[in-house]
Each structure stands twice: as structure tokens, then as C-alpha cells.
Amino acid sequence: MLPFREAMDDERIETAKLLLDHMDLSTLPTDHDGQATFICIAAASGSETLVERLLKHGCDPEAIIKTCGDLATFGHVRVLEMLLDHGAALKYPYLAAVYSRQMQIVKLLLARGVDLNCWRSDGENDILSSAAADKSMFKFLLEHGADIRVDKDGDSLLREAILRNNLAVAGMVLDRRVKPEDERKVLERAATWDTSGVLALLFQRGIVSGRTKYYRSTKAVELALEAHNAPALKILLENGWCLFDSELYRSHQRDGSQDIIYHAFQARSPEEIESMLDILFSNGVQINRTVCNTTNIWFPILERDAYSLKLLLGRGADPLHLTEYNEIPLFYAVNRNFAAGIKLLLEAIVSSERISRRKLAEDVHFALAWALNGVKWDAARVLRRFYYHDLDGTALIAPPSHRQVKDKRDMDEQEWAMKYFGPDI
């Protein structure tokens, strides 16, 4: 049996047939599981000849039933017909065919008399739930008698369509006047998962209502924010909901704007981050709004995330805004040895034209001293280049003397820094 199984696993059908022709079938396992394993290998290959010989040998019908799901999944119509003729139940391949979108198999089973509603559990129609990913399959089953009203809550298929982002299926469910018993559950699921327009359809059909009805008992906005679901969040805001409905935004002790900006940057892709920021800033979130003259939007510096920092600065984050430590964000970046962030912040500071060259030189000098003292060499290199030549190419301060350059060749970086930047380093 082992050589036969190896031949079937390698899809060497001719070799398997030759082995089967010379195999003593009396050595086949007599238990159901053993026979199921053996015939499944032959049947799943789609070889009618191999399956026919095994069936003639008298394989247990219970063993045959166990392989029908695989046959439906792989679309082996003729082999499946042979097994059905030998007593295989219709319901097992039916579920597999719907799940794997094998329309030809479904039509075969329908012609054989399969009960389209034979799969139910906990008051739900598992067949239609499996078909919710494919509008063609879903429509076919409905047209041939699948019961859309078997679920106890009235909304399982609608929730499945939302989960699978299938607007067409959601429309078919609503066209049959299926109204969910719990609007909040449907609303919250759509706020979390929908990106295809199902949520807009729910508002349009009156299935869910605006904020005034039950905003205190649902977490729709909160869930949309947590899922970084910008399309759903936008629809909620257009239908009367607001960001203050979210605990993530609202806080009793501090302004929630900064927390919600931080959360937006946890999205999975740059596109999602951009979309979330567009919505937040167009709905009253202020990037430079502070509490007690501090701001905590500089998390990209702490995480050494140049992309997010560039995005924040591009959206108007103030590079001269004092942090909770009463210092500009540049020192955050120095402390993290974040060279790319230092460069971005310096560019933003120069572009703002809100600080004198003298003050800028003092800040950069202090930052450089801090970097050297903390052995932050990546930060020190960026600051040193900027310290001697600002971004316009104009000398910010006097360039190093010949003596300084000569000493630099003979000293390591820390010794050189201590000599020319003061004993406080």
C-alpha cells in the first residue's frame, strides 16, 4: 500500500494504476478510516479507472462518503457521480462544492435531489453563509429554493456579507426584506469590517439609524477607529456620528486629539494612514493642540519611524513645539540617535523661518554636545554637518580651522568633540 500511496501523492497515475493492477486487494484495511484514506488518494486524483476497481472490490460505503468533500473541492465530476451511485450521501460534497465555488458540482447534486437547506446549525443556514463570498453562487442557491430566513436572529447572512465585504450579497439579503433584530450588532460589524459600501447601503435602506437613536449604547465609531476602517468611519460621520462618540478620542483628563492621531499611525499601510488622517483633520482634530503646553504627537521619533515623522510634519506638526519635557522635538530625536528624524526636523525648522540663525545655532550646538556626550554618533554626524553648513549651503557658523581639521585626524571623535565643543560634553 505504501508504494501506491507514494505514487498517488506524486500524481504518478500510470504508476499507481500499474501497482493497483498487481495489488492483492485483500490486504486493504478493513476499518473505515483505513479504507477512507486509501480510496481518498485514488478518488482525489480524479482517476475513474482506479476508483472503479476499488468500488468493485467492495470498499465500505461509509469510507466512500468521507472522500466526497475532496472530490467536490477539486471538481472531479465523473468520479463523484460514481461514488454517489455507490451510496455516498449528497450533503457532504454539497457543502464542499459551495465553499469551493464548484458550480458544476452544485448543479449535479441539485439534479440528484440534494436538500439545499440540509446544513443548519444554531439556527443558521451554513450553506448560504459559505456562499456569501460569491454573489453568483449565492444568487443561484436563492433562485433554487435556499431558505434565507432560517437564522434565528434574522441577520446572520447580512453579517456574513459584511464580513466578506460583498455588497451584492448584502443587497440580495435586504431585497428579501430581511431585517435584523439587533441593529447595533449589524452596525458595529459594518463599522469594523465593511470597506465595500455595505454600511452606506444599510443607512440608505433604513436598516441602521443615525447617532441620535442609540449612540450611547453602541461603539460604532470606536470600532471603526480601532480597525482603521476609513471608509466606514467616513460614512458614520456623514450620517450624524462624531469622533467624540469614541472613548479613544474622548478623555476626562486630557485632550484626545493626540491619542487619536497616534492611533491613526498604527494602520497597516501608508494608504490607510493617509485616509485616516484626512478624515481626522477634516473633522476637527488639531495636530498642534496641546494640554498644559505639551504635546505627545512625536511618537514617530520614539519609534524611529521616518515615514510617519515626515507625514506629521507635512500635515503641519510644529517642529518648534515644546514637548512635555519643555524642549523642542529635536532633542527627542538626538536621544534616540535618530539621524533621519534629525534631518527632517532641521529641514522643517529652517522652512518655518520662525527662529533666528543665532538661536538655531545655539540649539544645534547644544544638541550636538548632547549627542557626543551620549555617544550618539549617527545623530552627531548629521548635526555636525548642519552645524557647519545649513541647508542653503551658507555657513551657519565659521567653518573649522586648519588646526581643528589637523587635530581631527589625530584624535578619536569624542576627544575631538571635547576639545572643540567644551568641557561640559
Instruction: Tally the domains of the chain.
Output: 3
How long, in residues, is the chain? 425
- The cell 527627542 sits on which residue? 332
The candidate with the shortest Cα–Cα distance to 375, out of 410, 345, 407, 414, is: 414
Best mean pLDDT range from 65-79, 214-228, 358-372: 358-372
Contact 221, 228 (CB under 8 A): no
Asked whether residue 208 falls in the same domain as residue 221, the answer is: yes
Q: Do 158 and 64 share a structural domain?
A: no
> How does 139-172 read in b/e, with b if 16+ C-beta sit within 10 Å?
ebbbeeebebebbeebbbbbbbbbbbebbebbeb
Q: pLDDT for 232-255, tens place per residue?
A: 999 988 888 877 766 656 553 345
Question: What percentage of residues in the chain have a pLDDT greater than 70?
Answer: 62
| Of 44-48, 136-140, 162-166, highest mean pLDDT | 136-140
Burial class (CB in 10 A: 0-12, 13-18, 19+), 121: exposed
- Asked if residue 249 lies in contact with residue 227, where contact means CB atoms within 8 angstroms, the answer is no
* 9 and 104 co-located in one domain: yes
Query: pLDDT digits over 370-403, tens only?
Result: 888 888 889 988 998 887 766 454 555 554 454 4
331 assigned to some structural domain: no
Which letter does DSSP use for residue 291 in this model? Answer: B
Q: Do 193 and 236 sit in the same domain of this protein? A: yes
Domain boundary among 86, 114, 142: 114
Q: Which amino acid is at 93?
A: P
Q: Does residue 204 belong to any structural domain of this protein?
A: yes
Confidence class for position 343, pLDDT limits 50, 70, 90: very high
- Residue by residue, DSSP assigns 14-75 as HHHHHHHHT--GGGS--SHHHHHHHHHHHHHTT-HHHHHHHHHHT--HHHHHTTHHHHHHHT
What pLDDT is attached to residue 109?
A: 83
CA dist 384 → 31, 119, 160 (Å): 79, 72, 59
pLDDT of residue 45: 63
| CATH number assigned to the domain comprising residue 265 | 1.25.40
Residue 403 lies in a domain: no
Establish if 14 belongs to a structural domain: yes
Q: Are 58 and 135 in the same domain?
A: no
| pLDDT confidence of residue 293 | 45
Kindly tell me the number of DSSP H helices and DSSP E strands found in the chain. 28, 2
Coil, strand or helix: which one is 125?
strand
CA distances from 23 to 12, 14, 56, 187 (A): 16, 14, 14, 61
Q: How far apart are the first and last CA of the chain?
A: 79
pLDDT at 36: 58
Give the lowest-confidence range in 61-65, 87-91, 111-115, 292-296.
292-296
Most confident residue range from 55-64, 192-201, 292-301, 412-421 = 192-201
Based on the fold, state whether residues 216 and 168 are members of the same structural domain. no
pLDDT of residue 27: 63
pLDDT of residue 337: 92
Q: Of 65, 88, 114, which marks where a domain is finished?
A: 114
Q: Say yes or no: 6 and 104 in one domain.
A: yes
- Of 147, 126, 138, whose CA–CA distance to 168 is shortest? 138
Establish if 294 belongs to a structural domain: no
Domain assignment present for 352: no
For residue 38, the domain's CATH number is 1.25.40.20
The least confident of 37-51, 80-94, 178-192 is 37-51
Tell me which residue of 122, 381, 55 sits closest to 364, measured CA to CA: 381
Shared domain check, 153 and 46: no
177 and 191 share one domain: no
For the cut 50, the answer to whether the pLDDT of residue 96 exceeds it is yes
**Cell, residue 384:** 555636525
Task: Please indicate, yes or no, whether residues 207 and 158 belong to a single structural domain of this protein.
Answer: no
Residues 267 and 238 in one domain: yes
pLDDT(122) > 50: yes
Residue keyed to cell 572643540: 420
CA dihedral 268, 274, 278, 281 (to 10 degrees): 80
Domain extent at residue 198: 185-286
Q: Write down the residue that cell numbers 443556514 correspond to.
A: 125
Residue 78: inside a domain: yes
* Domain stop point among 114, 136, 160: 114
So what's the pLDDT on residue 253? 39
Phi and psi torsions of 295, nearest 5°: -145, 145
**Confidence at residue 422, expressed as pLDDT on a 0 to 100 scale:** 47
Tell me what pLDDT residue 416 has.
57
- Specify whether 74 is located in the same domain as 98: yes
Q: Classify residue 239: in a domain, yes or no.
A: yes
Tens digits of per-residue pLDDT, 264-284?
888 888 888 899 989 988 887
pLDDT at 18: 67
